[in-house]
Amino acid sequence: MVQIRMRKLFFIYIVISTVSFIWFYSSCGFPECKEKEIEHLIKKYKARNKELDKKISDLSQQLQECQKNVLTSGRTEFSHSPTIYMVTPTHTHPEQKANLVRLSHTLLHVKNIHWIVIEDSVSKTVLVSKFLQNSGVKNTHLAALTPHEIKMKYNDPTWLKPKGVLQRNAALRWIRENLNPNTDNGVVYFADDDNTYSLEIFQEMRNTKKATVWPVGLVGGLRYEKPIVKDGKVTGWFTYWKPNRPFPMDMAGFAVNVNLFFNNPDARFSNEVPRGFLESTILEQLNVKMEDLEPRAENCSKVLVWHTRTEKTKLKNEQLMIKRQGQGSDPNIEV
């Protein structure tokens, strides 16, 4: 009996082992088959990877094309629309490139703009040259140095000396020498590199017969300064600081027709004028009268440009870094 049971048990054992063996290999495959399958899968995924790499490279090429188109769209010329000649003095300081990058990104959205950038330096710097070449904005790059005696020091109070005078004059010279008053229809706007400009302000100034004016935000110790307008005419000024100036407004608050510089060939900025008189003296030399002023920005009721200032960054840890580890930041890395 015992023998028969043992046989039976053995038989059951053999059957179960065989079935398990067959089941195991049918579900997992034989080792060589498995290897082949894995090799096949690797090949398949490698091919797929290659395809995806190619797709990525094609798409990045397309993206680059699109970016180029976006950058150059600001250059599109429309013969019927006057060009805005935007005059921007700029000087070497730690925040210069940040200011220029920010401003150029605004200008990329503006049609028919010609940016005249004048460096306060003996000659054009590599930083500004490279920046302008890649900016995508139509530009003219000039340099005019402010003499040592009238040059602001980095830590001087901002009001101490007039700024951007010789640079704006260099731009006026370029305009007079390079534009044709009979064929070049345009507007001149003196736009400093640290202000904030809405896109609307460019539309507002585009059609300027003689001189357009509008409010400027965050200036003169007020939330805004602005011309006072009655029945579509400028009758006075909302300005606290030196309100008796002929035109008590900031440089960012007006634009003039380019013809004015041809009709008044001697008009230029001067370092000799009292503080806050740069705007008034240029407009007077251009023979602009109060009644000529064309109010913009919904009769001067909207702020579309802000006299912002970029905070001076404290770089005191550069020196401490040199003391601590023998060298400061790498001068070859442009900031």
Q: Give the E-state strand segments of 50-190 in sequence order.
A: 83-90, 113-119, 139-143, 186-190
Window of 29-37, 158-166, 236-244, 322-330 that interacts with ligand UGA by CB under 6 A: 158-166
Residue 151 binding ligand UGA, by CB under 6 A:
yes
Nearest to 141 by CA among 131, 155, 154: 131
- For the question of residue 279 being annotated catalytic, the response is yes
Contacting residue, 146, 208, 212, 257, with ligand UGA by CB under 6 A: 146
**51, 210, 216, 284 from 225: Cα distances, Å:** 61, 21, 6, 20
CB of 228 to ligand UGA, least distance (A): 21
User: For residues 108 and 251, what is the distance between their CA atoms, to the nearest angstrom?
Assistant: 22
Which of 119, 204, 225, 279 is an active site residue?
A: 279
By residue count, the chain amounts to 335
User: For residues 300 and 16, what is the distance between their CA atoms, to the nearest angstrom?
Assistant: 96
Q: 247, 273 in Cβ contact below 8 A?
A: no
How many residues sit close enough to ligand UGA to count as binding (CB under 6 A)? 21
Nearer to ligand UGA, 140 or 299 (CB): 140
Contacting residue, 120, 204, 225, 294, with ligand UGA by CB under 6 A: 120
The amino acid at residue 215 is P
Residue 266 assigned ligand-binding role: no
Q: 107, 113 in Cβ contact below 8 A?
A: yes
Residue 225 binding ligand UGA, by CB under 6 A:
no
Give bridge partners of residue 196 from the DSSP assignment: 306
User: For residues 169 and 259, what is the distance between their CA atoms, to the nearest angstrom?
Assistant: 16
Window of 3-11, 130-138, 191-199, 286-294 that interacts with Mn ion by CB under 5 A: 191-199
Contacting residue, 119, 192, 225, 279, with Mn ion by CB under 5 A: 192
Window of 25-33, 35-43, 150-158, 228-236 that interacts with ligand UGA by CB under 6 A: 150-158
**Annotated catalytic sites, by residue?**
279
Binding residue numbers for Mn(2+):
194
Which residues contact ligand UGA (rule: CB under 6 A)? 88-91, 120, 146, 151-152, 158, 162-164, 167, 192-194, 250-251, 278, 307, 309
